[in-house]
Structure 1
């Protein structure tokens, strides 16, 4: 705590937001005066926090009491000194501190998404490997929307007009929102978020921010903080930023592309490349692991009904598990790069995914491929997204199918634990049931007077 206490004193912090990530990626926790935070050195939260749905509801009682103590006890949250971020938008001098979660015996809480990622990273560490990632976050800027039954609209820019068409890579279109992005960059710099390029994506008022490559846990923390930072910057400028996977009908979806490679911890060399610069067997096995296991882990990268709207055939999103060099129609793209930076870009994950769980799923699938010595399919040259069943390891078509595959996944239970697998599936099934109870605008439009 010495390092953290010194930081809080140096920055004259008066309030501390003590947070953890729930299954959805929502920041849950408590706001504490700095003196109380320093004296208590952590916080307690009820176990049920980690099993809340995105609507704030609880899961079914049977699974609830199977996974949680019937007395509804608290777990212990311990601050991570390496996950401290200033909040530049608050009136009081405030720091956000991400916490790790433990039971009363000091064991990591299996339901915690951050602990899930740490568990996967340890698998690599036990082999003398260090995973390296670089996330790319797509998002939409939209006008404020008070009625959820109404479609989202692009916001007004500096010119006083809203975008009316797609503006891929347009500098002028991105500059329409310069005041917002200037705040975003300034706030990210103040928090130590290692963001890089800003790109105008294909959709109307759709953007992308790239992160520099680095440590998997640190970057997952940064994505967790970035989402909140961008939303706050947008609200300051009277617009909204959304990371929904498919927020606008007939517009492209938003992804969280995950670039990943693996270093040897002793030599620092990329294990995806041999000394002569060619692809290593471990590289090919990593691809094969992604092909083999991502269908079982799909709810971790596509967590909601809306996530699967992004995968519809004919969209710009990948609908397959093929791989290819510089091929954006593949779910697994191999970007052109020098041999020592050879990497895989997982293009399946949606921007709506919990960053800890999406990174964990992607790294775990590749890890299993390496330890099992799996072989990938042949690389694809040309279009790979004509059919979502082109690859033998095709993706589930719906969230229902994906949840069944995850629930029955031996690999998920072996590596991530029975409690997490059961709990996560239960949360997503509860959300799915909640969704099914809502009558949609499509039903009112086409069925009201015709059936």
Structure 2
């Protein structure tokens, strides 16, 4: 079904009571920032664009203002930045009386650091090389019988999940909570972010939702919206969902794996499959993996984007610890998946559920394209348990967000792929994030040092 035109959207909203739509942009941390907009303002914005306060690009996920970025800050007085509304992203929010929702992205000078704009530029590079990119995200998230008020009252300790124990792929749990499953699956259909699969994972109250494959930019929209509206749905039920990389030392981290493949832009033929290649891998797929492996240590800040991300990257918890790859090997950072020509793809397993999908996909796809452009050969594929094998030279990953940000700033490939403006701004925001974390006095520190030191 064709998407409505800008004129049709304006008329649709004007005919509602009240005559409003919602519009929003995703910030550096992947937080959805937006507002209600009157029909007349929406019509004008669809025709000529809008202004949106650029503080959205100048603060962190807690609305704390960066003090180390050049693009915006007190020194610029936080003016409006230009945004374009995107008619093709129209959705309706079913539990808000079907109010129309439109995504937007920054343009003008702000486009250089806009997460969605970043991914568009990477995909334009793919198009220039004759490729179309398909992608999909799958997210693990824990669900709690808690509210925003109760978790704060408990200081985030002793939280109650919706169900106890380890029940991976549980038909018992999915039957018990069938109403919630139906609500979630229906929401995803209604908001054009349909799931391919939904199941329980190992741990109390943890689910995994795999979003259906689509064009990469659309897939990123769906992934970012999924994270937001899963949280909305849960809180409307008196529950909470978290997409932290690791919320508890007792349970594995939460993945946000990214699947991707290339098609020939002219014919639509799969690019990654070659029946004569090892396990069906074409030269292009091998070089794509080679680029991803080579640049992973330099681009890790774009994927492991929070201080908490690095608590997940430990051996034995279904999270990779080195820049390595294997065929159908879930202990590696990169898993090549074989099968039919259309199924042949790469799973970028280093990513956790805390990713900004636009930025993480930019890193994953951009590094793969760089590998094809430079014909980068990967290391030999890992067989067996990757955790038990010593890292190959140059494949160790940064251990902290600060180290990862420094590697990003020093990366010539990152600057070529993403532009100096994005690299400088994004690296500064990650340095800020870890600086904020260092201010915290944790329970672990108090338990360890309060009496004995």
> One fold, TM greater than 0.5?
yes
Identify which of 47, 56, 66 aligns with 2:54.
47
Identify which of 70, 83, 90 aligns with 1:77.
83
Report SS of the residue matched to 2:272. coil
Which structure 1 residue ranges, 5 or more long, are not aligned?
157-161
State the partner residue of 2:33.
28
State the partner residue of 1:225.
225
Q: CA deviation at 1:246?
A: 0.3
State the partner residue of 2:312.
310
The CA distance in 2 between the partners of 1:30 and 1:388, in whole Å, is 50
The CA distance in 1 between the partners of 2:346 and 2:232, in whole Å, is 32
Q: CA deviation at 1:8?
A: 5.8
Match runs of 1:285-434 below 5 Å: 285-386=287-388, 389-390=391-392, 392-434=394-436
Q: CA deviation at 1:412?
A: 1.2
State the partner residue of 1:254.
254
> What are the superposed Cα offsets for residues 316-366 of structure 1, whole Å, 9 maximum, x if unpaired?
211122211211111111224213421111100111010100111100010
CA contact (8 A) 1:17 1:30 kept: yes
The CA distance in 2 between the partners of 1:172 and 1:328, in whole Å, is 26
CA contact (8 A) 1:196 1:211 kept: yes
State the partner residue of 2:176.
176
What value does the CA root-mean-square deviation take over the aligned residues? 2.2
CA contact (8 A) 2:246 2:312 kept: yes
Q: CA deviation at 1:154?
A: 3.8
The CA distance in 2 between the partners of 1:34 and 1:287, in whole Å, is 47
The CA distance in 2 between the partners of 1:274 and 1:2, in whole Å, is 39
Identify which of 124, 127, 130 aligns with 1:125.
127
Instruction: Return 392-401 or 173-182, whichever deviates more.
Output: 173-182
Q: How many residues align?
A: 440
CA contact (8 A) 2:65 2:73 kept: no
The CA distance in 2 between the partners of 1:71 and 1:444, in whole Å, is 40
When normalised by structure 2's length, the TM-score is: 0.91
Q: Against the structure 1 CA distance between its residues 132 and 65, is the aligned structure 2 distance closer, same or farther, given a 3 Å change threshold?
A: closer
Q: Against the structure 1 CA distance between its residues 281 and 396, is the aligned structure 2 distance closer, same or farther, given a 3 Å change threshold?
A: same
Match runs of 1:267-282 below 5 Å: 267-274=267-274, 276=276, 278-282=280-284
CA contact (8 A) 2:194 2:212 kept: yes
Q: Against the structure 1 CA distance between its residues 148 and 111, is the aligned structure 2 distance closer, same or farther, given a 3 Å change threshold?
A: farther
Identify which of 17, 22, 26 aligns with 1:17.
22
Report SS of the residue matched to 1:230. helix
State the partner residue of 2:194.
194
State the partner residue of 1:147.
153
Report SS of the residue matched to 1:131. strand
Q: Against the structure 1 CA distance between its residues 152 and 269, is the aligned structure 2 distance closer, same or farther, given a 3 Å change threshold?
A: farther
Q: CA deviation at 1:240?
A: 0.4
CA contact (8 A) 1:152 1:247 kept: no
Identify which of 31, 39, 42 aligns with 1:37.
42
> What are the superposed Cα offsets for residues 400-427 of structure 1, whole Å, 9 maximum, x if unpaired?
2111101111111122111111111111
The CA distance in 1 between the partners of 2:157 and 2:10, in whole Å, is 43
Q: CA deviation at 1:387?
A: 5.5
CA contact (8 A) 1:332 1:345 kept: yes
Match runs of 1:156-167 below 5 Å: 156=162, 162-163=163-164, 165-167=165-167
Instruction: Return 278-287 or 213-222, whichever deviates more.
Output: 278-287
CA contact (8 A) 2:327 2:336 kept: yes
> What are the superposed Cα offsets for residues 158-204 of structure 1, whole Å, 9 maximum, x if unpaired?
xxxx31x2111111123333222221111211112121100111122
1:95 maps to 2:95: no
Q: Against the structure 1 CA distance between its residues 46 and 268, is the aligned structure 2 distance closer, same or farther, given a 3 Å change threshold?
A: same
CA contact (8 A) 1:48 1:68 kept: no
State the partner residue of 2:70.
64
The CA distance in 1 between the partners of 2:268 and 2:335, in whole Å, is 24
The CA distance in 2 between the partners of 1:37 and 1:338, in whole Å, is 45
Which structure 2 residue ranges, 5 or more long, are not aligned?
none
State the partner residue of 2:204.
204
> What are the superposed Cα offsets for residues 290-329 of structure 1, whole Å, 9 maximum, x if unpaired?
1001111111111111001000223221112221121111
